[in-house]
Amino acid sequence: KDIGRLTIQCADQPGIVAAVAGFLAEHGANIVELGQFSTDSENGEFFQRTVFHREGLAEALPGLTAAFADQVGERFGMTFALTDAATPKRVAIMVSKYDHCLLELLWRNRRNELDMNVTMVISNHPDLAADVASFGIDFVHIPISRATKVESEARALELLTGKVDLVVMARYMQILSADFLDNVGCPVINIHHSFLPAFAGAGPYLKAKERGVKLIGATAHYATATLDEGPIIEQDVVRVSHRDSVGELERRGAEVERSVLARAVQWHCEDRVMTYRNSTTIL
Amino acid sequence: KDIGRLTIQCADQPGIVAAVAGFLAEHGANIVELGQFSTDSENGEFFQRTVFHREGLAEALPGLTAAFADQVGERFGMTFALTDAATPKRVAIMVSKYDHCLLELLWRNRRNELDMNVTMVISNHPDLAADVASFGIDFVHIPISRATKVESEARALELLTGKVDLVVMARYMQILSADFLDNVGCPVINIHHSFLPAFAGAGPYLKAKERGVKLIGATAHYATATLDEGPIIEQDVVRVSHRDSVGELERRGAEVERSVLARAVQWHCEDRVMTYRNSTTIL
Amino acid sequence: KDIGRLTIQCADQPGIVAAVAGFLAEHGANIVELGQFSTDSENGEFFQRTVFHREGLAEALPGLTAAFADQVGERFGMTFALTDAATPKRVAIMVSKYDHCLLELLWRNRRNELDMNVTMVISNHPDLAADVASFGIDFVHIPISRATKVESEARALELLTGKVDLVVMARYMQILSADFLDNVGCPVINIHHSFLPAFAGAGPYLKAKERGVKLIGATAHYATATLDEGPIIEQDVVRVSHRDSVGELERRGAEVERSVLARAVQWHCEDRVMTYRNSTTIL
Amino acid sequence: KDIGRLTIQCADQPGIVAAVAGFLAEHGANIVELGQFSTDSENGEFFQRTVFHREGLAEALPGLTAAFADQVGERFGMTFALTDAATPKRVAIMVSKYDHCLLELLWRNRRNELDMNVTMVISNHPDLAADVASFGIDFVHIPISRATKVESEARALELLTGKVDLVVMARYMQILSADFLDNVGCPVINIHHSFLPAFAGAGPYLKAKERGVKLIGATAHYATATLDEGPIIEQDVVRVSHRDSVGELERRGAEVERSVLARAVQWHCEDRVMTYRNSTTIL
């Protein structure tokens, strides 16, 4: 319905807001929502997300993009993107056997709460095929073992590269190689459990139980070559007590994972998340 | 340190952001932070808060203000304010006998967490005089009774009107008259307990206990003639259980009151809160 | 697996805990978990929930129940229940058109997170039939109009009375008559939106938006003749802002409704919730 | 007012609750509140906290203690404590330069929200002497350097051992030696910042900022020889965003530290916290 989004990022410098606002005004776009942030008042990195209304946006988009690059983007050395809010992101979900994150995403999407179009679900196990089928979405089973990792990832890349705008690891229990991340051609969001403090290695819920932790959390972040250390998009916690068994801690953990991942995916699909170095700005 | 804030409000219309950003760029001001909001994409109310850096701000402020009114404000029918972040708001606190909200504000202010200068504390009881004195702040005792309400409020107005930028009712257990609110010449922030659902009338904590409520909350809002129904600035809750006595519910309520009020005052002092009809926009 | 639960309630008096613990020890039951609460140290109401292990519980249960009544229950004037944890509660869910609460319950139950056996879903609309069928659960469509209310309720009572242990109104948009509640023969849990303060009447989300509320909540409670004023089982809130439209407030509200209702149902099915007058004790 | 507390801990075995309840009933004590927990239904560790009313408790306490040891404690191999709720815990607070945790404790105590009697404040810096004096509490300045650590700790031990029931490290920026902890003769509670995930080493707030964390937390725990890895008593978090500078993260961290520490101290002073291996049970 003629609603566009412009996201920009560049070194902070005088006149950016004026130039962007001037450009939009000149091209018949009326600003509906504007978020802006600079990491520092000197030598900072500048971020802006602008939502605007423009008659006939769909047809005008290529021209607007070229004009913006020409008249504003190049001058300020910007990275920018102009998108049509009516075009949902194409998303692939990768999953193993746990269903809670996958179903939360599919279910919310069916209720039109997420701005995405799930084009396929890829799993290294066949277990969730029927669940996915009931949503009318393609389920692709790509088994993976140490021996087949290279070819399995290659097969996934074939399905993904250039065909999706986002990959979501909804408890996909495999580590994606740096090579995969380099070649998939779009961001990858991952979810994992989190504690204060962290409990490294295997059996984190047992370790948390043994320490008597009172909060169980989850973190959604962009996957990077060092898998669990990419920029954080969203986090949350739930309260637990000594009465909760290790199994119950895992159940509460699953609950917070699904809501945290859903929020992170939603923000990403609304073009709200911008990364800089290893952190995020959510506008 | 040459940091200014510009807050504006007007009917939404094309070109506002461009005009404001253009003005600031022309007058040597570099935007550091910008928050913007419109209540609707058609016929909405527009709000913007801009933080900027400008060499020699203190001296330039009167000239900038006049120029902005002339070149931008009038054109768009704006209500606006240009302030110097280095000038803390002058605040008067009104209190009765409960000390928790008062002490939280004074203590945080001593730790430089609130952007305010508390010029006086007015109370209808003498009880908290020593506490206030220990912070080096003037304590004014203005008793009030049904018979003396008019003159007591007149005396308070004499101390306040034109001399403070904000009045905070930190559990001031008197209802300020519509007349007082009309004449005090600055916003008044009030804090009161809140529940889901509300329990009207006397003894709300007892009523909450009798219903078995699981959350106790507080609401900070601007005082209006209908005292507890002004625009809401901030709210929060804490979890309680059947084990909590009515006295403990009140204590937990006091805890959430002090943090909610402190946040509301801080946001107000940072020029973040804008009101429209009976609601607030926090930028 | 031989795990039983004993819940008792009576006027507080010396010797209750000793008598109950003595009885269990004598009858070969080892206490695994014990929660106890008294509303007051004088003339209070006493509540206790004891989870115990007893070899051959299923066969022994009728005898244990009779013996407990005889040896302990009568002496202290107790209301009590002895249940086998291996026997899940039989639950009927009533729903209209909103699916979020229904699906949350069915989904969690499929993941074995709720101690219940959903025997049927009753709806006054046909919309959710397919969703319910996909879980292999009976869906009964009982239309209801002002004219047919009496017979519709009678038909529901026929299906429910004596056949279920709990009825859950998962956004069932009809008011159950006092007569229905009197005759259904088991507790009824209801969920509804909640705000600080409450906004009575139609369009509560719009009213909340107009007042600028910062928290949106939900309350799960037992239904009583005054529908929304029964004893509260659980409550929670989520944070919202001026950026959230009325539609988004409703979506956030739906999210908190489903988690609050799921917790309330879980606690009830684990025999944790005891009511006294208009409040609850959760052990 | 004749309210006593009995806390017990031992290997779980049949008949404990009956024996304890029987003992109290025989000795004229009426149970007011009872919390109980077992880590496992087989071979678990058992914990119980019983609050009871007994006429003439103060005089009877020594006799009751001896009788309980004789009649119940030895039989079950219990660790137990019988305390008079009217006798507040004697507490020493250790602090460096940060005042927020110290003032929160002193202030709440003045409002009678904590069941403790602060007998002294020990600091390695003189900065907070006046603040402490304003509460009428002894302030002891014991400087400490690498060279003087042994004698400084010895001097503190002289003031503490046998004279206090609890030591609270309210942001005491020194590591207490294993030797100190062995000889102080009472539990020591510590508070420190916490993140998901943890950021080890210096500058944790900067590291958290660089990773874009969305939650800032604090953990209160018992100090053990491995300082920050003792049993956790309480934890909490607050939400932060990319807009918060490192300084603001520290301020939000301080806020959560003071409320978490206050809750941990309160629970300890009410004899609610029991430790087993490296975890806690809060009854």
CA distance D242 to chain B (A): 12
D99 contacts in B (CB within 8 Å)?
Answer: 111
Last residue of a domain, one of B58, B84, B110: B84
Which one of A2, A12, A84, A228 is the catalytic residue?
A228
Asked if residue C153 and residue C36 are part of one domain, the reply reads no
**CB-CB neighbours of A136 under 10 Å:** 9
Residue D111's pLDDT band, with cuts at 50, 70 and 90, is confident
For residue A41, pLDDT beyond 80: no
Percent of chain D scoring above 70 in pLDDT: 99
Say which CATH number the domain at B191 has.
3.40.50.170
CA distance C138 to chain D (A): 37
Asked if residue A273 and residue A248 are part of one domain, the reply reads yes
Residue C227's pLDDT band, with cuts at 50, 70 and 90, is low
Query: What is the spatial distance between Cα C241 and Cα C236, in angstroms, rounded to a whole number?
Result: 17
Q: Which of A39-48, A80-89, A138-147, C88-97 has the lowest mean pLDDT?
A: A39-48
Which one of B138, B228, B244, B271 is the catalytic residue?
B228
For residue A198, pLDDT beyond 90: no
How high does pLDDT run on average in chain D? 94
| Amino acid A197: pLDDT | 76
Asked if residue D148 and residue D118 are part of one domain, the reply reads yes
Residue A216's pLDDT band, with cuts at 50, 70 and 90, is very high
For residue A273, pLDDT beyond 80: yes
A111 contacts in C (CB within 8 Å)?
Answer: 99-100
CA distance A123 to chain C (A): 20
For residue B167, pLDDT beyond 80: yes
Given an 8 Å threshold on Cβ–Cβ distance, is A251 in contact with C103? no
Instruction: State the total domains in chain A.
Output: 2
Last residue of a domain, one of D49, D84, D119: D84
Which one of D228, D236, D244, D271 is the catalytic residue?
D228
For residue C37, pLDDT beyond 80: yes
**Tens digit of pLDDT for each residue in B208-255?**
999 999 999 999 999 998 767 899 999 999 999 999 999 999 999 999
Asked if residue D135 and residue D219 are part of one domain, the reply reads yes
Mean pLDDT, range D46-73, rounded to an integer: 96
| Amino acid A227: pLDDT | 59
Asked if residue C146 and residue C13 are part of one domain, the reply reads no
Asked if residue A238 and residue A157 are part of one domain, the reply reads yes
| Amino acid D129: pLDDT | 97
Percent of chain C scoring above 70 in pLDDT: 99
Asked if residue C102 and residue C58 are part of one domain, the reply reads no
**Tens digit of pLDDT for each residue in C10-28?**
999 888 999 999 999 999 9
Q: Check: CB of residue A88 under 8 Å from CB of residue A112.
A: no
Catalytic positions of C, please?
Answer: 228
Residue C32's pLDDT band, with cuts at 50, 70 and 90, is confident
Given an 8 Å threshold on Cβ–Cβ distance, is C255 in contact with A259? yes
For residue C12, the enclosing domain spans 3-84
Residue in D closest to B243 by C-alpha: D33
Query: What is the spatial distance between Cα A83 and Cα A70, in angstroms, rounded to a whole number?
Result: 17
Given an 8 Å threshold on Cβ–Cβ distance, is D111 in contact with B134? no
Interface pTM, i.e. ipTM: 0.89
For residue D201, pLDDT beyond 70: yes
Mutate to test the interface with D, among B3, B34, B111, B252 (most CBs of D within 10 A): B111
Last residue of a domain, one of A84, A115, A141: A84
Residue in C closest to D53 by C-alpha: C41
| Amino acid B200: pLDDT | 77
Nearest by CB: D232 against A211, A243, A277: A211
Asked if residue C197 and residue C255 are part of one domain, the reply reads yes
CA distance A18 to chain B (A): 4
Mean pLDDT, range B140-146, rounded to an integer: 96
| Amino acid B227: pLDDT | 60
Q: Name, in order, each residue with C-beta under 8 angstroms of B20's C-beta and a sequence gap of 6 or more.
A: A21, B6, B8, B48, B50, B72
**Tens digit of pLDDT for each residue in B13-55?**
888 999 999 999 999 998 888 889 988 877 899 999 999 999 9
Asked if residue C121 and residue C261 are part of one domain, the reply reads yes
Residue D54's pLDDT band, with cuts at 50, 70 and 90, is very high
| Amino acid B113: pLDDT | 87
Asked if residue A93 and residue A72 are part of one domain, the reply reads no
Given an 8 Å threshold on Cβ–Cβ distance, is D31 in contact with C53? no
| Amino acid B188: pLDDT | 97
Asked if residue A217 and residue A246 are part of one domain, the reply reads yes
| Amino acid C68: pLDDT | 98
Say which CATH number the domain at B66 has.
3.30.70.260
**Tens digit of pLDDT for each residue in A112-129?**
889 999 999 999 999 999
Asked if residue A161 and residue A58 are part of one domain, the reply reads no
Mean pLDDT, range C131-146, rounded to an integer: 96
Q: Name, in order, each residue with C-beta under 8 angstroms of B230's C-beta and a sequence gap of 6 or more.
A: B190, B221, B222, B223, B224, B278
Mutate to test the interface with D, among C12, C24, C30, C71 (most CBs of D within 10 A): C30
For residue A164, pLDDT beyond 90: yes
Residue in A closest to D281 by C-alpha: A242
For residue D200, pLDDT beyond 90: no
